[in-house]
Amino acid sequence: MTDSGIEQADPEVAQAILKELERQRNTLEMIPSENFTSLAVLEALGTVLTNKYSEGYPGKRYYGGNEFVDRIETVAIERAKKLFGVPHANVQPYSGSPANFAVYTALCKPGDTIMGLNLTDGGHLTHGWKTSATGMFFNSVPYHVRADGYIDLDEVEELATRKRPRMIWVGATAYTREFPFKELARIADGVDAYLVADVSHIAGLIIAGVHASPVPYAHIVMTTTHKTLRGPRGALLLVTDKGLKRDPELADKIDKAVFPGLQGGPHDNNTAAIAVALQEASTPAFKQYGEQTVKNSKALAGSLMTRGLKLVTDGTDNHMILVDLTPLGTGMGMYAQDALELAGIVVNKNTIPKEPASPFYPSGIRLGTPALTTRGMREPEMEMIGAFIASSMDEIRPYTMPMEKEARREAIKKFRSGISQSSKLKEIRAETVELCRRFPLYPELPRA
């Protein structure tokens, strides 16, 4: 064993990490599920806690030597309970998808009927999509959005009344409006279904008071701890008073589903980082951050629409914007993502409601403001970035995305060759780098 740092121990990996840091510093990170943690969170992740094995829960471990790990996990649990206003919290899930599967394990038997928002309408894989284990092991009955992009509550009620699901999910990965928790709770209660809220994207907004909380309405709440919560990559499972009123053993069922049902020992360094992030989220500064994130999102949406881009639902209530690119052609999401990356703007291709193409070559892009807001950008910068994005979209107009596989391969090759020569994108790239330098990221850390 050596006591040298990573630069000496593995310069190849060290250099790649530094290059990634420089990429983050010099691009506009706009994928709405990405954010920048504080240095304190990063520090917690890189501690000796990674050396410890802690199967079980505080005071009930299968290994010795857990005195301080117990203290840290208990702190994380108590902070989560206080922030979200719930009687029970489990902070051990490795990430959002395993956490969601723990909910199925606690509540359902294979073959039970479940409902969730359809993936191409903005839902999540683990809410019953056909290629997910949740769609394979359970009878998934998806609901959809209306033509205007809002959740079709009439359809939800009709399906729930007819199919009598065991569980209904509320939550999404690409839904730009406030979730109708109260209305969905009424529907779920009417058919004796559990309502489970996956608030991974909006947890930080809920804590900041700029999005309604599901806690009074749902039986269980799941959230990842990155995204708008600005922590490490983990997850929380929260049991509400309503959940315990329905089933006093629900908290125990959730804990047993996580361990030993699905996971082994928790990642103690991640638990510590979650505790730090929750402490940061309890401050007035975090409330201001959440408020500004939504202000920025609305300002960016306005900038894009003013410049002729089409947005699903014609705007946003949260941190996220979904751009419908069908006026430029079908399946243009990948072209838009690639062009924007050349311009120094990182977004992700995404399906739109009633997607006319393939999920692999979708017709939209998803973008958001959490990471930009963390850097300190405000409404004037959103106006500028909206102009960058609209100008970048003009560069993909000459291209088309064929639906035939062979033709598509050749078209993509031609597009990438042509777009890499775009002088306009190079010009925008220079401007995005300059903007990034005005809002430095991690100035305390070294440079490549």
Q: Where in the chain is the domain with CATH 3.90.1150.10?
A: 285-438
The pLDDT assigned to 2 comes to 55
351 carries an active-site annotation: no
- Decide if 113 contacts 166 (C-beta within 8 A): yes
Shortest CA distance to 159 belongs to which of 133, 191, 206?
Answer: 191
| CATH code of the region 285-438 | 3.90.1150.10
Q: Which of 34, 47, 52, 55 is catalytic?
A: 55
The two structure tokens encoding residue 261: 């049902």
224 carries an active-site annotation: yes
The pLDDT assigned to 359 comes to 87
175 carries an active-site annotation: no
Q: What is the pLDDT along the chain (448 residues), one digit of tens a residue?
A: 556 689 999 999 999 999 999 999 999 999 999 999 999 999 999 999 999 999 999 999 999 999 999 999 999 999 999 999 999 999 999 999 999 999 999 999 999 999 999 999 999 999 999 999 999 999 999 999 999 999 999 999 999 999 999 999 999 999 999 999 999 999 999 999 999 999 999 999 999 999 999 999 999 999 999 999 999 999 999 999 999 999 999 999 999 999 999 999 999 999 999 999 999 999 999 999 999 999 999 999 999 999 999 999 999 999 999 999 999 999 999 999 999 999 999 999 999 999 999 889 999 999 999 999 999 999 999 999 999 999 999 999 999 999 888 899 999 999 999 999 999 999 999 999 999 999 999 999 988 6
Whole-number Cα distances in Å, 239 to 124, 228, 242, 243: 21, 21, 8, 6
Shortest CA distance to 166 belongs to which of 196, 198, 126, 121?
Answer: 196
- Decide if 385 contacts 28 (C-beta within 8 A): yes
Q: Which of 233, 307, 416, 424 is catalytic?
A: 233
Backbone angles phi, psi at 150, to 5 degrees: -90, 150
The two structure tokens encoding residue 201: 């994207």
Q: Work out the angle at residue 131's Cα, subtended by the Cα atoms of residues 353 and 346, and round it to the nearest 5 degrees.
A: 55
CA-based torsion, 128, 130, 132, 135: positive or negative = positive
Residue 142 DSSP SS3? strand
Burial (0-12, 13-18, 19+ Cβ within 10 Å), 428: buried
The pLDDT assigned to 447 comes to 82
What CATH fold (topology level) applies to the domain 44-281? Aspartate Aminotransferase; domain 2 (3.40.640)
Pairing of strands 28-29, 345-346: parallel
The pLDDT assigned to 10 comes to 94
Could you write out the DSSP letters of every residue in 304-368?
HHHTT-EEGGGS-SSSEEEEE-GGG-TT-HHHHHHHHHHTTEE-EEE--TT-SSBTTB-SEEEEE
The pLDDT assigned to 3 comes to 62
Q: Which of 47, 52, 53, 416 is catalytic?
A: 53
The pLDDT assigned to 4 comes to 65
**What digits encode the pLDDT tens for the residues 228-281?**
999 999 999 999 999 999 999 999 999 999 999 999 999 999 999 999 999 999
The two structure tokens encoding residue 70: 């117990």
Residue 18 DSSP SS3? helix
Crossing angle of helices 153-163 and 181-190, rounded to 10°: 20
Write down the residue that tokens 């990356």 correspond to: 341
Q: Which of 157, 198, 268, 317 is catalytic?
A: 198
Q: Which of 223, 224, 228, 240 is catalytic?
A: 224
Shortest CA distance to 255 belongs to which of 272, 242, 236, 274?
Answer: 236
354 carries an active-site annotation: no
Q: Where in the chain is the domain with CATH 3.40.640.10?
A: 44-281
Q: Which of 79, 166, 177, 227 is catalytic?
A: 227
Distance of CA 322 to the CA centre of its chain: 14
227 carries an active-site annotation: yes
55 carries an active-site annotation: yes
The set of residues, in sequence order, having a beta carbon less than 8 Å from that of 10 and lying 6+ positions away, is: none
The pLDDT assigned to 403 comes to 87
Number of alpha helices (DSSP H) and beta strands (DSSP E) in the chain: 18, 15
**Taking phi first (over 0 means left), then psi (-120 to 50 degrees means alpha), and beta for anything else, what does residue 263 get?**
beta
